[in-house]
Structure 1
Amino acid sequence: MLRFIIVVIFLVLFLVLSIPVLIAEWLLAKVSKKTADHSSLSLVQWAFGVIRRLSGVELTVIGEERIPDEPVLYIGNHRSYFDIILTYERMKSLTGYVAKKEMLRYPLLVNWMKRVNCLFLDRDNPKEGLKMILQAIEYIKSGISIFIFPEGTRNSGSELSMLEFHAGSFKIAEKSGCPIVPVAINNSAFIFEEHLPRIKKTHVIIEYGEPIYPKDLSKEEKRGLAEHCRNVIQETINRNHALV
């Protein structure tokens, strides 16, 4: 319980004390958006690194060298809020995450999310979902990677289970021409979700798979792209389960 209290205190202090920084970043973006984006990336990564250490997370990362040196679409399984914290801290370039629109209700947090190019998805409105995909494609073309959890929500099932992937998520890569990087995350739910409200010291494994280039796939392979990526991640979390 002590870890939970410490993490909450740090998060609240960061959000409140960073209000002047948010204003400075907003002003900087008027002069140079790219500079402001990189500055915001560094600040949020620092904060997430502090949260990881306060939470006692031991992190093993595999395959980071497989990530191409270009904007990509990251596709990951999703079982914990910490999936975002742990993966974002590792990003070496600008990356926006796709979040549910309900996150818009949290002041300051949403301001920082917008500063680091997050997109917000209305899961009940197909028209808004299409707008989000088009915006994500523009981000990719402007040099910003996108990270999406195509299960559509956090999976509260067993450790090795996965929900079905929404095929629409992959349109971002198909239409922009960017590679897809599968991301398999093991044991993240044990940090917090499996024993709310306690945060427990945990070993988490993140593995980045070989990039997939939709432009090199046949029409039939593109139709099965979501299922293929799901299978790649499923096989990886099954294999890495023994390492946790």
Structure 2
Amino acid sequence: MKILNSIISFIKLAAGAVCVFFTGLLCGINPKNELKYRKGCAKFLTSLVANDIIIEGEVDKNANLLIGNHTNNLDIALMETVIPEKLIWVAKKELGEIPVIKYMVTKTDMILVDRSNKRSVLTMMKEIKERTNRGFKVVLFPEGTRNQKNPAKMINWKNGTKAVAEKLNLKVQPFVIINLPYAFKKHPFRIEKQTLKVIFLPSFNPKENPDWFEETKAKMQNILDKEYQKL
């Protein structure tokens, strides 16, 4: 049975890859409808791993910087599914070099950054300001990369997120994703749908609390501890 589930899971992965490929292609051909294509692909990808999605808290319509934990590539698809409005993602510049897939970032107001280049970081700040001035929400993962070691324990946060929030005076709303990486099993590989949860914390202005960065991480870690204890 596990072998059969593995075969089915690899077929699902292939279907997901095809979905991403054609979404990129459509974004390149008709960028005016990119949001429709992105949201459709995100819902399909999320359906591969989610039996149900539980949402706690509410998205603050006035928050313009969302920050959350990052444990899987499908974190992006999940958040695109949960939040109907257009989200702006900050991605590494290499994604803009992948044939066809690059259209999903270059034709959709996404922001590409070369973290090793200081000028690129300054350009990122300017682009984030431009996007938020246009009313979009920007999403950042303070961990800077996927945490593949232990989804219940966040890895160190990068100071870039703190600098963005404070220098651009953005209203911040944290979120916590629960249980998504456990949809992917090993030995043998298979996908087992899970009940996923997204918890939105209250939003705030960083100017009101100089210790917001450390305190927010502690609050999010506390939520992770409690949620994974239940599981």
Same fold (TM over 0.5): yes
- 1:93 shift after superposition: 2.2
Q: How far apart, CA to CA, are the structure 2 residues paired with 1:8 and 1:84?
A: 18
Counterpart CA distance in 2 for 1:195 and 1:45 is 32
Q: Distance in 2 between matches of 1:53 and 1:74?
A: 23
Two-structure CA RMSD over aligned residues (Å)? 2.4
Maintained 8 Å contact 1:73/1:172: no
Give, in whole Å, the separation in 2 of the partners of 1:124 and 1:196.
37
Tell whether the 8 Å contact from 1:137 to 1:172 is kept in structure 2 after alignment: no
C-alpha offsets along residues 171-198 of structure 1, whole Å, 9 cap, x if unaligned? 3222333211111111222123766853
Aligned residues with identical type, % of pairs: 24
Gaps of 5+ in 1: 26-35
CA contact (8 A) 2:26 2:34 kept: no
Contact 2:48-2:193 at 8 Å conserved across structures = no
2:15 counterpart of 1:9:
yes
Tell me which residue corresponds to 2:148.
156
Q: Within 5 Å, give how 1:203-214 maps onto structure 2.
A: 203-214=195-206
Q: Following superposition, which runs of at least 4 residues in structure 1 exceed 4 angstroms of deviation?
A: 193-197
Aligned partner letter, 2:55:
V
Matched residues in 2 for 1:112 and 1:225: separation? 33
Deviation track 1:91-115 (CA, whole Å, cap 9, x = no partner) reads 2322111112222232222201233
Return the alpha-carbon distance in structure 1 between the equivalents of residues 88 and 171 of structure 2: 15
Counterpart check, 1:19 vs 2:25: yes
Match of 2:217 among 230, 238, 241: 230
Distance 1:115 1:226 in 2: 32
95-104 or 203-212, which deviates more = 95-104
Determine which of 17, 34, 43 is the counterpart of 1:40.
34
**Residues 9, 191 of structure 2: 8 Å contact kept:** yes
| Structure 1 residues 149 and 106, CA gap change in structure 2 (3 angstroms) | same
- Asked if residue 200 in structure 1 is aligned to residue 206 in structure 2, the reply is no
Alignment of 1:13-162 (within 5 A): 13=19, 15-16=21-22, 19=25, 22-25=28-31, 36=32, 39-63=33-57, 65=58, 67-162=59-154
Q: CA deviation at 1:55?
A: 3.2
Conserved 8 A contact 2:23-2:104: no
When residues 91 and 3 of structure 1 are mapped into structure 2, their CA distance, relative to the original with a 3 A threshold, is: same
Name 2:160's counterpart in structure 1: 168
Distance 1:195 1:183 in 2: 31
Separation in 2, partners of 1:149, 1:197: 27
What are structure 2's unaligned runs of at least 5 residues? 1-5
Instruction: Give the structure-2-normalised TM-score.
Output: 0.85
State the aligned residue count: 225
- TM-score between both structures, scaled by the size of structure 1: 0.81
Q: CA deviation at 1:21?
A: 5.7
State which drifts further: 15-24 or 153-162: 15-24
